[in-house]
Amino acid sequence: MVKICFIGAGSTIFARNVLGDAMLTPSLQDAEIALYDIDKKRLKESELMLKTINNNSNQNRAKIKSFSDRKEALKGANFVINAIQVGGYKPSTVIDFEIPKKYGLQQTIGDTTGIGGIFRGLRTLPVMFEIAKDMEEVCPDAWLLNYTNPMAILTMGMLKATKIKTVGLCHSVQVCVPELFEHLGIKDQYNLDEFQWKIAGINHMAWLLEINRNGKDFYPEIRSLASKIANPHKDSVRFELMKHFGYYITESSEHNAEYHPYFIKKNYPQLIDQLQIPIDEYLRRCVTQIEGWELQREEIVNNGSLEHTRSREYASYIMDAITTGTPTVIAGNVLNKGLITNLPENCCVEVPCLVDKNGVQPTYVGNLPTQLAALNRTNINVQELTVEAAMTLEKDKIYQAALLDPHANSELSISEIKAMVDELIAAHGDYLPTYK
C-alpha cells in the first residue's frame, strides 16, 4: 500500500487538488493518506473535505487520518507533499512588504526572490530541515514533492543540506503556452495538440525556448502578434521581456516585474501604470483568500456532495509513475548537474524530467541563449546566497543576497539595504534562527 503524507494539509483547496487527484488515480486509490498541519482547525476541515471526496469519488478506498505529531504522520511514507507557509500572512508576509516599503522598495508578490523571497526562504528552510531530519529517521526513501515557495531556494537547500530525494513543482510551465495564446488573443484559433514546445531555465524564470506548429517555427508569429498589442495589458512585463530579450518567460508579469531592475522604479513611477504592475498584489490576494474562505468552507468543507475532477497538478502523475513504472514527463526543479551548461553547477534549475520507477530523472538541455542565462544568473546569485545563509547561519550571507538582488540594488544604496535587512531580521524574531 502506498502512503502519502501531506505537510501543510490546512491548505484545504490545494490538498483537495493534490490528494483528490491521488484518489482518482488507480495505483493510488487505496493509499494511506496522513495529514499534518500546525493549524488544528484547518487540518480538521481538510480531513472532512477529503473524506467526503473519498466517499463520493473513490468508494472510501483511501484511508485518511490526521496527525498531531509530524513524525508519526511521516512514518513509513512513500511520498511527502510539502505545502507549508511559515509565518503566514500575519505577521510574516506583512513584515516582508511593509519594512521594505519604508525604504522605498515596492514589491508585487515577494515570495520567490527579492527581499520578500529571501526572508520567506530564511523562515522556511529551518522548518524544512527539521522535516528532513524526521524523514531521515522514519521514511528515508520517500520522495519529497515540494510545492512551497521560494521554490528554487527551498529545493536547492533540501538537496544540498539533506539526504532527502526532493523535486520542486510549480504550475507555471503547464500554463505557459495556454496563457500566452490567451494574451495574444489566439487561444480559440489553434488546437494545442498541433504544437510542440520546449521550456527550461529556473523556477518562475524559465523560458519558452522553442515552439513549433506541425514542425514549423511558430515564434515569428508570436513575436509579430505581441508587437501589435499596446501597453498596458495584463501581460505587459512578459511582453516587454520578450521584445528586448527574444523569448517568452513562464511566470506571470506581476511576478517578473520584481525579478528584474527595469520595471518597479521609484524615479519612474509612470512605469507602474504603463505596464499595469500591481504593487502589493500578494497582500491583496491574502486578504481576499482569508475573507473568501468563510464562503468556501460551506461550499467545500461542509458540502456532503463534493466530488473531484483530476487536475493538472504534477503530484499524482509523479506518484503513479514511480509506483507503477508507467513513465510520465514533468517540469521539475532539481540541482543543475550539467543540465543547463551555462548556468552554475548545483544551482536549482527547472527542466523537463522523465519519471518512472527510477524516480525523477532530469534531462539535458545544454546552453540557454546567452542573454537568458545572464538574466537567470542575476536571480541564482540571490538564491545561492540565501541557501548558504540558512546552512551556515552567517548574517553576511543575508546581506550579500540582498545586495545582489536586481530589484533592491537598482533602487537602494548598500547602507539602506543592510539597514533594511537588520530591521527585517529583528521584526521576524523567533521565526528566524540566530545569525552570527
Residue range 253-290, pLDDT digits in tens? 999 999 999 999 999 999 999 999 999 999 999 999 99
Phi, psi for residue 373 in degrees, rounded to 5: -60, -40
Residue 294: the pLDDT is 82
Residue 173 in any domain: the answer is yes
Residue 74 in any domain: the answer is no
Residue 204: the pLDDT is 98
Confidence of residue 75 (pLDDT cuts 50, 70, 90): very high
Residue 202: the pLDDT is 98
Residue 350 in any domain: the answer is yes
Residue 39 in any domain: the answer is no
The residues, any chain, with a CB within 8 Å of residue 162's CB and separated by 6 or more, are: 129, 132, 133, 136
What cell does 380 get? 541564482
- If one counts every other C-beta atom within 10 angstroms of the C-beta of residue 290, the result is 12
The torsion defined by the Cα of 156, 161, 167 and 169, in degrees rounded to 10, comes to: -50
Report yes or no: 320 and 28 within 8 Å, Cβ to Cβ.
yes
User: Based on the structure, what is the number of domains in the chain?
Assistant: 1
Cα separation of 118 and 30, whole Å?
40
Cα separation of 374 and 368, whole Å?
9
Q: Does 428 carry a binding-site annotation?
A: no
Residue range 360-413, pLDDT digits in tens? 999 999 999 999 999 999 999 999 999 999 999 999 999 999 999 999 999 999
Residue range 347-360, pLDDT digits in tens? 999 999 999 999 99
Residues linked to residue 203 through DSSP beta bridges, in sequence order: none
Report yes or no: 212 and 218 within 8 Å, Cβ to Cβ.
yes
Residue 224: the pLDDT is 98
Residue 28 in any domain: the answer is no
Q: Does the pLDDT at position 295 exceed 90?
A: no
Q: Does 346 carry a binding-site annotation?
A: no
Nearest alpha-carbon partner for 182 in 248, 272, 274 = 248
CATH of the domain at 237: 3.90.1820.10
Active site residue 171: yes
Q: Does the pLDDT at position 436 exceed 90?
A: yes
Residue range 299-335, pLDDT digits in tens? 899 999 999 999 999 999 999 999 999 999 999 999 9
The range of the structural domain enclosing residue 363 comes to 84-435
- If one counts every other C-beta atom within 10 angstroms of the C-beta of residue 312, the result is 11
Q: Hunting for cell 521514511 — which residue is that?
A: 139
- If one counts every other C-beta atom within 10 angstroms of the C-beta of residue 413, the result is 11
Q: Does 55 carry a binding-site annotation?
A: no
Residue range 22-57, pLDDT digits in tens? 999 999 999 999 999 999 999 999 999 999 999 999
Cα separation of 45 and 13, whole Å?
10
Residue 43: the pLDDT is 97
Residue 201 in any domain: the answer is yes
Residue 298: the pLDDT is 86
Query: What is the residue-wise DSSP string for 103-171?
Result: TT---S--SSSHHHHHHHHHHHHHHHHHHHHHHHHH-TTPEEEE--SSHHHHHHHHHHH---EEEE--S
Residue 36 in any domain: the answer is no
Range 230-254 average pLDDT? 97
SS (H, E, C) 267-289: CCCHHHHHCCCCCCHHHHHHHHH
Q: Does the pLDDT at position 187 exceed 90?
A: yes
Residue 252 in any domain: the answer is yes
Q: Does the pLDDT at position 193 exceed 90?
A: yes
What's the one-letter identity of residue 139? C
Q: Does the pLDDT at position 96 exceed 90?
A: yes
Residue 417: the pLDDT is 98
Kindly report whether the global pTM for this prediction surpasses the value 0.85.
Answer: yes
Provide the mean pLDDT of the chain. Answer: 97
The active-site residue out of 171, 233, 255, 308 is: 171
